[in-house]
């Protein structure tokens, strides 16, 4: 028997511990898009916090609301992969 297999036996064989970071990263990836969408709603309908970050006569695409909407759009990938995997009508070629 090799030394590495003896070390693994002595550790108790906890296989669930390495899976925890993978599970947490999946949940964190799924939380990004709704969080940014919520932040866009708060910025759009909330107090004038957007005036602090932008100039008075700026274009429509500057400011926090468009930035949060773009961030939400860019973070939709995990949601699209999850929906495609579950078979909700969308098929992604492999």
Model pTM score: 0.58
Residue 53 · residue 64 · CB < 8 Å: yes
Sequence length of the chain is: 94
Structure confidence by residue, pLDDT tens digits, 6-49:
444 555 555 556 788 888 888 999 999 999 999 988 888 875 55
Q: Where are the domains of the chain?
A: 16-86
């Amino acid at each position: 028997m090799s030394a590495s297999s003896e070390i693994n036996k002595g550790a108790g064989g906890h296989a669930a511990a390495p899976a925890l970071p993978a599970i947490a990263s999946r949940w964190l990836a799924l939380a990004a898009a709704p969080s940014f969408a919520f932040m866009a709603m708060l910025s759009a309908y909330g107090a004038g916090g957007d005036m602090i970050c932008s100039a008075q006569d700026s274009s429509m695409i500057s400011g926090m609301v468009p930035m949060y909407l773009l961030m939400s759009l860019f973070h939709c990938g995990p949601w699209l992969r999850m929906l495609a995997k579950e078979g909700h009508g969308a098929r992604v070629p492999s």
